[in-house]
Amino acid sequence: MSHANPNAGYALELKELRKSFGKTEIIRGAELAVRPGERVAIIGPNGAGKSTLFNLISGRFAPTSGEVLLHGTRIDGKKPYEINRLGLSRSFQITNIFGKLSVFENLRCAVLWSLGYRYSFLKFLSRLEDANERAEKFLQMIRLEKKRDVLAVNLTYAEQRALEVGITIAGGASVILLDEPTAGMSRSETARFIALIREVTEGKTLLTVEHDMGVVFGLADKIAVVVYGEVIAFDTPEAVRANARVQEAYLGSTVAEAQAGGGA
Ligand SMILES: Nc1ncnc2c1ncn2[C@@H]1O[C@H](COP(=O)(O)OP(=O)(O)OP(=O)(O)O)[C@@H](O)[C@H]1O
Ligand SMILES: [Mg+2]
């Protein structure tokens, strides 16, 4: 992205981040520094604050204190669309898809958005052809060529999630947040979806919240363990697996299950 500050070093940074709802502090001094191109899985018990972290990063909530930096630029307190414009995209459980547009049209909208069509109608016209070509490319990338002209609302759940990731990439995001992207998918859909994510997010910075340990260890370069509003560990999967504090706080049984071949 043109917004990248080459001196920043990190794609995304959380510094001493805090968030209270009423009197209850939910995020309690979270720290994280993610390098460009890293794929990070965020794990942790229910209610630990994983989705709240995403809400703080994406601008849905302003933090009570602390900083969020995107490519070295402060984004805490900015509006979601402003943050999106700076190259960060978050997928929601209720998706960003336009149900009444076709798969192709959804992708083309995202491409046009990334080209900045809003600023000039002439520029828009001159780039329309280019946008069509790019949208076709993204359509292939998410392997929905056969569903090209199907209304998005008529896709299967897994297909909608794939389209959503496609929209994110087509929209030019460099940092992508996915909150439990495989929730509600079958085992085979999950496997296919993870392979797809690996492929289409190549070179992008990815943060994903995930409960399925098979998925976590298959996808992530690094794992961030969130417990009670803090990042208690941030390291390679091997190191996190071996981390006594993580074992104690959270991981022990789930990792043992995944290693035993359960994968879930
Ligand atoms: N808007 C809000 N107002 C008040 N409390 C909230 C709000 N959003 C989240 N919380 C509380 O913050 C805590 C953390 O919630 P969060 O959804 O971030 O957890 P999580 O780690 O994503 O959990 P899960 O794995 O179940 O999705 C919970 O106790 C939740 O009830
Ligand atoms: Mg959550």
Residue 164 and residue 182 in one domain: no
pLDDT digits (tens, 9 = 90+) for 81-138: 899 889 999 876 556 788 899 999 999 988 888 876 555 666 666 677 788 999 999 9
**Better pLDDT: 146 or 213:** 146
**Is residue 69 scored above 50 in pLDDT?**
yes
Q: Mean pLDDT of all residues in the chain?
A: 87
**Which ligand has the nearest atom to the CA of 49?**
1
Residue 201 and residue 252 in one domain: yes
**Which ligand has the nearest atom to the CA of 224?**
1
Residue 183 and residue 251 in one domain: yes
50 lines ligand 1 (CB under 6 A): yes
Residue 192 and residue 254 in one domain: yes
Which of 151, 173, 195 is the last residue before a domain boundary? 173
pTM over 0.75: yes
Residue 233 and residue 256 in one domain: yes
pLDDT digits (tens, 9 = 90+) for 72-87: 999 999 999 899 889 9
Closest-lying ligand 1 atom to the alpha carbon of residue 52? 18
Inter-residue contact 49 to 229 (CB < 8 Å): yes
Question: What average pLDDT score do residues 23-50 get?
Answer: 96
Tokens encoding 56: 């703080």
* Structural domain contains residue 75: no
Ligand 1 binding pocket mutation candidate from 17, 27, 50 (most atoms within 8 A of CB) = 50
**Better pLDDT: 32 or 253:** 32
Residue 169 and residue 137 in one domain: yes
Residue 258 pLDDT grade (very low, low, confident, very high; cuts 50, 70, 90): low
Q: What is the pLDDT of residue 1?
A: 47
* Structural domain contains residue 51: yes
Residue 57 and residue 181 in one domain: yes
**Is residue 22 scored above 70 in pLDDT?**
yes
Q: What is the pLDDT of residue 244?
A: 85
Residue spans of beta strands (DSSP E) within the chain: 12-21, 24-34, 39-43, 65-70, 73-74, 88-91, 175-179, 205-209, 222-227, 230-235
Q: Residues 6 or more apart from 219 whose CB is under 8 A from it?
A: 39, 41, 194, 197, 198, 208, 210
Which of 140, 173, 206 is the last residue before a domain boundary? 173
Question: What average pLDDT score do residues 156-177 get?
Answer: 91
* Structural domain contains residue 183: yes
Ligand 1 binding pocket mutation candidate from 21, 46, 207, 227 (most atoms within 8 A of CB) = 21
* Structural domain contains residue 69: no
**Is residue 202 scored above 60 in pLDDT?**
yes
229 lines ligand 1 (CB under 6 A): no
Percentage of residues in the chain with pLDDT exceeding 90? 63
Ligand 1 binding pocket mutation candidate from 19, 28, 51 (most atoms within 8 A of CB) = 51
Residue 245 pLDDT grade (very low, low, confident, very high; cuts 50, 70, 90): confident
Q: What is the pLDDT of residue 98?
A: 87
Residue 57 and residue 186 in one domain: yes
What does DSSP say about strands 222-227 and 88-91: parallel, antiparallel, or unpaired? unpaired
27 lines ligand 1 (CB under 6 A): no
Inter-residue contact 12 to 32 (CB < 8 Å): yes
Residue nearest to atom 24 of ligand 1 (CA): 46
The tally of domains found in the chain comes to 2
Taking ligand 2, which is a single-atom ion, which protein residues have CB atoms under 5 Å away?
50-51
Which of 173, 195, 223 is the last residue before a domain boundary? 173
**Better pLDDT: 1 or 124:** 124
* Structural domain contains residue 226: yes
Residue 166 and residue 246 in one domain: no
Residue 168 and residue 193 in one domain: no
Strand partners, 68: 14
Q: What is the pLDDT of residue 119?
A: 57
Residue 257 pLDDT grade (very low, low, confident, very high; cuts 50, 70, 90): low
Count of positions (residues) in the chain: 264
Residue 263 and residue 227 in one domain: yes
* Pairwise CA distance, residues 57 & 86, whole Å: 12
* Structural domain contains residue 26: no
Residue nearest to atom 6 of ligand 1 (CA): 21
Q: At what angle do helices 103-115 and 157-170 cross, to 10 degrees?
A: 20
* Structural domain contains residue 74: no
Q: What is the pLDDT of residue 248?
A: 81
Q: Which domain CATH number covers 245?
A: 3.40.50.300
Residues of the domain holding 163: 97-173
* Structural domain contains residue 17: no
